[in-house]
């Protein structure tokens, strides 16, 4: 994509029996019947030598929520908007994007 690089991540998290402050052992027991949020993150980077973020979206919604379908549809719509960032077809004027100065009379 000439307007930049688009990255989408989907993570499923689970609660474990390990404490937050304890050193992170690799064999933490997973707690059953607990929250299991699904996180979605979308990023659009430009093509510069040092890539900068053009747009981003992230959301961690609970998987047991009654409106999972609606959350998923919103996540897809938001990520689609992030993917389109930087393309000439959706170029929007944002206040402060351009600055003009007026020279003093001679």
Residue 101 confidence (pLDDT) above 80: no
The 10s digit of each residue's pLDDT in 52-66 is 888 899 888 765 555
Residue with the bigger pLDDT between 67 and 42: it is 42
Mean pLDDT over 24-45 rounds to 82
Residue 98 confidence (pLDDT) above 80: no
Are 18 and 25 within 8 A, CB to CB? yes
Q: Tell me, what's the pLDDT at 95?
A: 57
């Amino acid at each position: 994509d000439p307007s930049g690089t688009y990255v989408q991540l989907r993570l499923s998290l689970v609660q474990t029996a390990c404490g937050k402050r304890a050193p992170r052992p690799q064999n933490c027991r997973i707690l059953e019947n607990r929250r299991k949020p699904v996180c979605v993150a979308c990023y659009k980077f430009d093509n510069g030598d040092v890539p900068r973020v053009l747009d981003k979206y992230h959301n961690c919604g609970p998987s047991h929520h009654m409106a999972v379908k609606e959350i998923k549809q919103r996540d897809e719509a938001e990520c689609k908007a992030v993917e389109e960032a930087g393309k000439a077809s959706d170029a929007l004027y944002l206040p402060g994007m351009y600055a003009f100065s007026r020279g003093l009379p001679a």
